[in-house]
Each structure stands twice: as C-alpha cells, then as structure tokens.
Amino acid sequence: MSRFFDATEISPGFKFDEEIIKHIKESTLVAIGSDAYSSRYWCQREILCAKQHQRPIIAVDCLQDFEDRVFPAGSNVPCVHVSPDTPISESDILRILIATILETIRHLHAQKSLEYYQSQNWIDNDCAIISRPPEIRQVIDLKKSGKQKICYPEPSLYSEEADWLSHFEVDAFTPLWNKAEDGALGCCRIGISISDNPVGNYSDCHLHADHLKRLSQDLARHLLARAGTVIYGGDLRKDGFTHFILDEAIALKTRLNTDSIHVENHLAWPLHVSDPEIVAWRAKYSGIVKTVEHDIPDDIAKGIDKSVFIAPSGTDNKYIWSRCLTRMREKSIELSHARICAGGELAGYHGKMSGVLEEIIISIEKNKPIFLLGAFGGVVAEVCKTILDKAIAEPITEHWQITNNGGYFELQEKAKQGSQNADYTKIKTVLEGISVDDLARSSGLSSDDYQRLIESPFVDECVHLVLKGLKALASASVSTKTEGHDE
C-alpha cells in the first residue's frame, strides 16, 4: 500500500489538477468532512472524479458545528465519525484506516464477483457493472454511453429507494433480484431447516461464525421479496435470523399493501405454552406471523397438564419433547412445497435426532424437494458426504450419537418401547440410497447445479441456485394446474 497527499506528493513543476486526478484514478479516496468541506471546489472535484472512475470512497465526519449543505455526490458511501478535536486520536486513526481497507476490499471484490457472474450468464453482457447502488449522475452518464441496464451488488434497494430510476427508463438490479421477480414464488411454501453448528477454529473450517446467519438472512430476504411463504419451526422471538425474518415480512407487507401473511412459525408443545411474554409478542406480530401450534401426540398426552411448561431434562421429559418435535416437523413438512437445509447441530439437540437431520429424512420420505447446502458444515455436511460417498458418515451413526450426547442411550431405549426411536439403520439406507441426480431432478436443478449447491461455500451462489430451482418448481406447478384446467 501507498498514499497520495497533494500538499507533499506533487513535485514542483507538475500540474496540480492533473496530478490529483491521475492519482485518484488508482486510489481509495478518504474525504475528511470538516464544516467547510463541501463548499470547497477541489474537495467537490475530487469526489466527482472518484465517482466518475468508480473508486472506493470513505467519508470521515468530523464536523465541529454543522455544514450548510452536504455535497450530494459525497453520499452513498461508508462514513466514519471521529471527534473534531486535534490532534486526532490513535484509535480514530485506526478506525479510519480499517474502514478504508475494508471498503477497498469490498469494492474490488464486488467488481470481480459481478464480472464473474456476468461470465456465468447471471448478468447480460450489455449490462453495466457498478460497485455500489446507482446514483443519478452515474445513471445519466451510463445512458449517454448507451447502457439501459445496470447491475450493482447485493442487497437490492427497496422499491421506494429506487423509484427515481423509472424517470430515466433504466433497469437497475442485483445478480439475484430484478423487478420481474416480483411474485415469482407466490404459490410456494418453503421450509427453512437452518440452525447453528459449532464452526470451531476459522483456520480449520474457513467458516466465520456469522456465515450461516448471513445465508439465512439472504434466503429470507429473497424468498419474501418474491412473495414466497417462509415456514420456520422454532421460537421467532430470538435475535439474529429469526428477528430478520420479521423485519423483512413487515417491509413486504407495507410494499405490497396486503393483509396476506408470508411467515409461518410452527411450534411444538410445550414451546407454545402461553406466558405473558409470548402473549405480548404474538399480539405485536399477529398481522405478520401466523403461529401454528402442534399438540402432544395422543398416545402420550394422558396425565400431562398441557398448560404447564416442562423442561427437556430427564429421560421421560426428553422423550415427550422428542415426540412433540417429531410431530411438529412431520406436519410442517406436509404443509410445505420444498425445504432448504444448511448447518445443524450434531449434538446437544432436544429431539430423537438432530432436528435438521430429522427434517431431511422426513422430506425425503414425503417426496418433498430438498436443497442441501453442504459447505456450511454441521449435520447437512455429513448428510452430503454420505450421499456422495455412498457410505454413512460416522457422526450420523447411533454409536457416535450415544458417545457424544449425554443421556441419549437412555432416551433411545425408552423410545424403542413404542417403536419411536431414531432408526439409524433406516437413516443409513435412505441416505446411501439417494443420489445427486435424484435430488436434482426433484428440486428443479440440473445434476451439475445440484453438485455445485452441495459444494459451494458462497452465499450468493447458493441463493442463486436455490432460487433457480424454486422458480423452476413454481413454473412447473403453474403449468400443471393450467393443463389440468384446460382438460
């Protein structure tokens, strides 16, 4: 890395303006915004030059009082606030440098990614590629050069933020979203089987702790934006992915101006036993989330007070929990058209087996399309390994589960009395007997695409492939209904 600062880097005899512009074309611009910054000609000129040549920009806000007018071209970039006091502190210097390096990497990564997506035909060859969401001056320049389509990085802008583009008759979109996608999954009910798994040391598995959360959030955003219904089993009051689902559902409801609910939260007993917190939460989100409560199986309900919560402790209670969770999973999968699976704990669960594993097995048995994202670790990675190698992975064996889960042997013994135990012989037969071709055929993908879905650790690529398959399934469903109506 190097740096350019005009007061010290321009040699005598060189033209001031030419030297500044020449260096901006190959630099990241750090714009330190004092009270008078936006009123200075050369400050404005430098920003305009950086924007014209698509260079990374970091705005540093160090206003003392106020500025009369924020320079419009200085927006749409990351901003770091620092104290206006001098001398600047070492911690503020480091924050500015870190933000600058990160934005430079993000900018270059975005450009390279979009160029790659274009080479893979995700993006048309006549489409302009930009590293940040479009701006008015940029759109005008691109239109003058004959560009009518613009692709920018994820995430997509909300419609209200991008409505000005219609005045220029320009189509701006991301690799995973354009206006034609509205309502594309309106007939689809998609189950989400994604849960955290211990990723361990980054150097061992190359998975950041937030990787699954980002995958979950991006899937939720794109499924809901296409008017698909997201089916989730678990407590939606938690932070992270589940809270993000609610934010996206609220935005969708407002954008579509509809009373339709696109999020279903399936809860096994005793998770839905009412207490003041749950009652308040349901009242707040009643217009956004449909809660589906699943009761205790009849054969174990006798003698249980359904209004009292029980903890999953002790063999008897664990058995009740396992039966209730299995019932909820079977019912929610019956009500879905497809299921997306990633991660999943191999140990420490409350059912008769890992929840994601159970949902995979039930989905296969019910002939439901499943999308297995194997590169995100956890139980799905072991399932994919089993399918590819035609040999059961050790963590999906009863011996491994008993060894790594305290009290699991006792739970299995009790469950066997009613033939309700986890049948690992059956699991082995099911997983070893299914192929990538089978999975691809049922999910609307080619075998090559499904193989890539299993292997890819890249969120954008996985979301692209899942959406590709779901849209194919939705299209086939519409065609079948139309043919049946014609007949």
Q: Which residues of 177-215 are buried (b: 16+ CB within 10 A; e: fewer)?
A: beeebeebbebbbbbbbbbbbebeeeeebebeeebbbeb
Q: How do residues 395-418 score in pLDDT, each as one tens digit? A: 999 999 999 999 999 999 999 998
| Sheet strands (E) in 252-379 | 263-268, 289-294, 338-343, 370-373
**The two three-digit tokens of residue 193, written as one number:** 């089987």
Q: What is the mean pLDDT of the chain?
A: 88
Q: What is the DSSP string of 99-143?
A: HHHHHHHHHHHHHHHHHHHHHTTSS-TT-EE-SS---HHHHHHHH
Which comes out higher in pLDDT, residue 45 or 209? 45
Residue 34 near residue 83, CB atoms below 8 Å: no
pLDDT at site 486? 54
- Widest distance between CA atoms in the chain: 94
Model confidence at 388: pLDDT above 90: yes
Share of the chain above pLDDT 70, in %: 90
| Sheet strands (E) in 263-359 | 263-268, 289-294, 338-343
Q: How do residues 133-188 score in pLDDT, each as one tens digit? A: 999 999 999 999 999 999 999 888 877 888 898 899 899 999 998 888 888 898 89
Cβ-Cβ contacts under 8 Å for 480 (sequence gap 6 or more): none
Residue whose entry in the numeric block shows the structure tokens 């059956």: 426
Domains of the chain: 6-109 (3.40.50.300), 121-180 (no CATH), 182-486 (3.40.50.450)
pLDDT band (50, 70, 90) for residue 485: low
pLDDT at site 1? 74
Spatial strand order of the sheet with 149-151 comes to 128-129, 149-151, 171-173
Residue 83 near residue 89, CB atoms below 8 Å: yes
Among residues 177, 153, 288, 156, the alpha carbon closest in space to that of 226 is found at 177
Model confidence at 351: pLDDT above 70: yes
